[in-house]
Homo-oligomer: A and B are copies of this chain.
């Protein structure tokens, strides 16, 4: 016998409870909320999730999440094309955009080098970054990776790969606490750490 006297409800609760941080009780609360509200709400939710999952892509230039082949930041003529900010994750792009202190372009690595998690340099878009320094008129590369051992390792690896790059390579200031990831840093600290970036060597 179904736990909820309804297989339909049970299936919905099962699907919802597969989401991170959502247990059975929360999933049931969410499902009953949808049942109480206008069917349109459920339709919009289902539709937006399906459209997102099937149509989202990575920007061919910066590897950020995008609806188009080239993302809205890369194709914005008002952005400074001579400065490139290297981040681990698309959430870090959001965090830096929120500080409103940076007007250059980005390069999203897709993670940091981590032998423990089995992430090697070849799993990240480091080669594409080196390629960009050859093909684009980049004068400064700002490394904005997490202030962790993995982030430092990745900084160092990238710095060595950029040996032919004639421009400046800088890292964001260690205003952000060591061990913290960029996502949860407050905007003022993160903004200042971009302004106080130091030369990498």
Q: A: which residues have CB within 8 A of B?
A: 1-9, 11-12, 14-16, 18-22, 26, 28-35, 39, 41-56, 59, 64-67, 71-73, 76, 90-91, 93-94, 97
Report whether A34 and B56 are in contact in the complex, using a CB–CB cutoff of 8 Å. no
Q: Is the CB of A15 within 8 A of B49?
A: yes
Given contact pairs A26-B21, A66-B5, A52 touches B31 in the complex (Cβ within 8 A):
yes
B16 adjacent to A34 (CB under 8 Å): no
Given contacts A44-B15, A46-B46, A46-B49, contact A94 B4 (CB under 8 A): yes
Are B91 and A32 within 8 A (Cβ)? Answer: yes
Question: Complex formed: what's the CA distance from A91 to B19 in Å?
Answer: 22
A4 contacts which chain B residues (CB < 8 A)? 65, 94
Cα–Cα, bound, A199→B95 (Å):
62
Closest B residue by C-beta to A73: B5
Partner of A39, one of B3, B6, B9, B53: B53
Per assembly, the copies of the chain total 2
Per CB-CB distance, the 6 closest pairs between chain A and chain B, nearest first, are A46-B46, A42-B53, A12-B52, A11-B48, A15-B45, A8-B52
Which residue of chain B is the closest to A8 with respect to CB atoms? Answer: B52
B-side contacts of A6, CB under 8 Å: 52, 56, 65-67, 71
Which of B35, B45, B54, B59 makes the CB contact (< 8 A) with A56?
B35
Are B51 and A11 in contact, with the CB atoms below 8 A? yes
> Given the complex of chains A and B, what is the CA–CA distance between A49 and B6 in angstroms?
13
Q: Which residue of B lies closest to A29 (CB)?
A: B20
Q: How far is the CA of A2 from the CA of B11 in the complex (A)?
A: 33
A91 touches B28 (CB 8 A): yes
Q: A9–B42 contact, CB under 8 A?
A: no
Given contacts A4-B94, A5-B73, contact A12 B48 (CB under 8 A): yes
Distance from A110 Cβ to chain B, minimum over Cβ atoms (Å): 11
Chain B, Cβ-Cβ closest to A51: B8
Smallest distance from the beta carbon of A14 to chain B beta carbons, Å?
Answer: 7
